[in-house]
Amino acid sequence: MNANESLVAKALDARENAFAPFSNFKVGAALELDDGKIYTGCNVENATYGLTVCAERVALWKAISEGARKFLRIAVASGSEHPATPCGACRQLLWEFCGDIEVILANPRGFRETHRLADLFPHPFDRSFL
């Protein structure tokens, strides 16, 4: 299994832990650090919707809370035929903390697509504006 497939497998496994009783749209993410360590996350929904947290943010915050600061790539797995890209809020946070990392989109049926975050988020707001 190559490195990308290993990361995707972790995202698919994390997807199984998603708490999505309202949308039934389960997402898993696996965020790889430059040293090879991987943090996973899944979406966690809330009845008020606005308090729902995406899989990408869960993985990122877990990593940040453990002191991680250098990221290599993230795999995001959803069940849709064409896997979902990170939402705008996740793109902003990924850009701010990870920079132009590789983003691998996947689903359980073998679909894989790779992008650079800069291609998904072409004109980000970051600390250079502050």
Domain ranges of the chain: 3-129
Please give the structure tokens belonging to residue 90: 């996740």
Q: In angstroms, what is the C-alpha Rg of the chain?
A: 14
Confidence (pLDDT) at 54: 98
For the domain 3-129, what is the CATH code? 3.40.140.10
Which one, of 52, 128, 53, 61, lies nearest residue 94 by Cα?
A: 61
Q: How confident is the model at residue 8, as a pLDDT?
A: 98
pLDDT score of 67: 98
To the nearest 5 percent, what fractions of the chain are helix, strand and coil?
30, 25, 40
Candidate list 32, 45, 56, 102, residue with the active-site label: 56
Specify the pLDDT at position 35. 97
> Which residues make beta-bridge pairs with 32?
38, 73
Ranges of the chain whose pLDDT falls below 70: none
Q: How many CB atoms lie within 10 A of CB 113?
A: 12
pLDDT attached to residue 3? 82
pLDDT of residue 99: 97
pLDDT of 2 reads 87
pLDDT at position 98: 98
Active site residue 5: no
Quote the tokens at residue 109. Answer: 């049926």
What pLDDT was estimated at residue 1?
76
Write down the pLDDT at residue 40: 98
Question: Model-level pTM?
Answer: 0.96
